[in-house]
């Protein structure tokens, strides 16, 4: 598929449809391709599309929309939800984007490979079903289903929601219940819940990677960067600030989060940040009707709409801690 994508990108550059290409460039290891702009056919020789191209390029389209000319962007099925959501919010310009919907059969998580005790990786090759990891300490064969990104286990489906053309086959890799993690926490006692989040959040280093990678976090000036807001400190000084940051981060994207899973993917401390976002998604689905952000560009987000019969906030204590 990679060859096909490169060739098509070269064609579109040559005929002037687009002036630049937003994609992934080969990294210095097989597992760390980086997001890159390509301005010429020559540069496209470093273009790569493999199992480690997890990065959601929709976020980069916010900046690309401000550039002169059209940008060719490659979006995986789940990335198109984010793009749609950004369209709804007028943060990207549809006319500035030429979208190729790329096939996706699930993306891989290098952390899960490393968690198996594999280190000294010199190369990773493979098929959609299994990879061969070569290391200086020996070679390993691993089934892809064991090393997929968390988000791929709860895949939203193989449909691209917005595109100009499609290249490559996609597969629905869903093999887990999306809300299972949230339900497991809801079933805990308040003490257990508190201990669980305390342990997870105490790892947070406030690097803001979760916020900066998030396609829904598109404010020009984040409230946590404001010099006029004294709760928004740069470091986690106390346990309160950890909670404050993560509650507010998730709240600000509630109803707009497409559950693309980028926050959990990039967290250097492996905090399952999707558990915050999914809790809001679950509550919204249960209280205000099923809603999938980014499914189409003309939906009204649940937190900017209401019905007369909405549940009262007291429902939280009525439902109680299970």
Partner 1 sequence: MAMMKITREAMPALYARIAAEQSLILPVKTAGQTNFAAWEEGADVDLYTLKTVKSAKDAFFPQSENLYTCKTEDKKITVTPEKLTDEHFVLFGIKACDLRGIEVLDKVFLSEPIDTFYAARRAHGTVVALACAAPSESCFCHAFGIDPTAPAGADVVIWPVGDSFMWQAQTEKGEALTVLAGDLLTAAAAEDETALENARTFTKNIMTKLPYADLSLEGWGAGKTDEKFNSPVWDTLYKSCLACGTCTFVCPTCQCYDIKDYTTGNGVQRFRCWDSCMYSDFTMMAHGNNRTSQMQRFRQRFMHKLVYFPTNNDGMFSCVGCGRCVDKCPASLNIVKVIRAFEKAEKGETK
Partner 2 sequence: MPVNEKTGEFTPKIVAFCCNWCSYAGADLAGSSRLAYPAEVKIIRVPCSCRVNPMFILRAFEKGADGVIICGCHPGDCHYSTGNYYARRRMTLLFSMLDYLGVESGRTRVEWVSAAEGVKFSTTMNEFAAKIHELGPNVRLEDLRCKNN
Task: Name which position in 197, 210, 217, 263 contacts partner 2 (CB under 8 A).
Answer: 197
Pick what 36 binds: partner 1, partner 2, none; C-beta below 5 to 8 Å, kind-dependent.
Answer: partner 1
3-class SS letters over 98-148? EEEEECCCCCECHHHHHHCCCCCEEEEEECCCEEEEEECCEEEEEEHHHCE
Chosen residue from 7, 14, 17, 32 binding partner 1 by CB under 8 A: 32
Between residues 28 and 290, which has the closer beta carbon with respect to partner 1?
A: 28
- The reply to whether 241 sits near partner 2 by the rule CB under 8 A is yes
Strand partners, 166: 101
As a whole number of angstroms, the distance between CA 146 and CA 26 comes to 24
* 82: number of Cβ within 10 Å: 28
Of 60, 68, 69, 67, nearest in space to 25 by CA: 60
If one asks whether residue 84 binds partner 1 (CB under 8 A), the answer comes out as no
What one-character DSSP code corresponds to residue 308? T
Q: Does 242 bind partner 2 (CB under 8 A)?
A: no
From partner 1, partner 2, none, which one binds at residue 67 (CB under 5 to 8 Å depending on kind)? none
**Token duo for residue 78:** 């789940």
Letters for 174-193 (x = contact with partner 2 by CB under 8 A, - = none) are --------x--xx-x-xxxx
> Do the Cβ atoms of 274 and 261 come closer than 8 Å?
yes
User: Which helix (H) or strand (E) covers residue 36, if one does?
Assistant: strand 34-38
137 binds partner 2 per the rule CB under 8 A: no
**Which residues have a Cβ under 8 Å from the Cβ of 118 and sit 6 or more positions away?**
133, 135, 140
Q: How far apart are CA 183 and CA 244, in angstroms?
A: 22
What residues numbered 189-248 form the site for partner 1, per CB under 8 A? 199-200, 202-203, 205-209, 211-213, 225, 227, 230, 233-237
Residue 23, helix vs strand vs coil:
strand
Binding site for partner 2 (CB under 8 A): 182, 185-186, 188, 190-197, 223, 231, 237-241, 243-244, 247-248, 250-251, 254, 276, 279-280, 283-284, 287-288, 302-304, 306-308, 310-317, 320-321
Binding site for partner 1 (CB under 8 A): 27-29, 32-37, 55, 60, 119-122, 135-137, 199-200, 202-203, 205-209, 211-213, 225, 227, 230, 233-237, 265-266, 268-271
């Amino acid at each position: 598929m990679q060859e096909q994508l490169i060739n098509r990108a070269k064609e579109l550059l040559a005929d002037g449809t687009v002036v630049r290409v937003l994609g992934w460039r080969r990294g210095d290891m097989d597992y760390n391709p980086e997001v890159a702009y390509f301005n010429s056919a020559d540069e496209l020789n470093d273009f790569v599309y493999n199992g480690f191209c997890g990065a959601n390029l929709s976020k980069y389209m916010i900046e690309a929309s401000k550039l002169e000319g059209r940008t060719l962007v490659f979006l995986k099925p789940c990335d198109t939800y984010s793009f749609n959501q950004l369209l709804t919010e007028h943060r990207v310009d549809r006319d500035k984007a030429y979208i190729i919907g790329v096939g996706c059969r699930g993306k891989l998580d290098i952390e899960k490979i490393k968690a198996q005790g594999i280190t000294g990786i010199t190369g990773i090759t493979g098929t959609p079903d299994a990879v061969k990891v070569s290391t200086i300490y020996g070679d390993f064969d691993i089934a892809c289903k064991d090393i997929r990104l968390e988000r791929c286990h709860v895949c939203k489906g193989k449909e691209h929601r917005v595109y100009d053309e499609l290249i490559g086959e996609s597969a629905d890799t869903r093999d887990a219940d999306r809300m299972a993690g949230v339900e497991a926490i809801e079933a805990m006692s308040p003490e257990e819940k508190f201990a669980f989040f305390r342990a997870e959040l105490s790892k947070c280093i406030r690097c803001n990677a979760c916020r900066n990678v998030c396609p829904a976090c598109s404010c020009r000036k984040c409230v946590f960067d404001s010099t006029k807001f004294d709760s928004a400190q740069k470091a986690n000084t106390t346990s309160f600030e950890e909670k404050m940051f993560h509650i507010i981060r998730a709240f600000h994207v509630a109803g707009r989060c497409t559950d693309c899973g980028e926050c959990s993917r990039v967290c250097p401390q492996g905090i399952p940040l999707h558990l915050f976002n999914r809790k809001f998604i679950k509550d919204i689905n249960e209280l205000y009707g099923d809603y999938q952000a980014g499914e189409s560009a003309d939906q009204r987000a649940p937190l900017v709409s209401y019905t007369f019969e909405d549940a009262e906030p007291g429902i939280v204590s009525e439902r109680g801690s299970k």
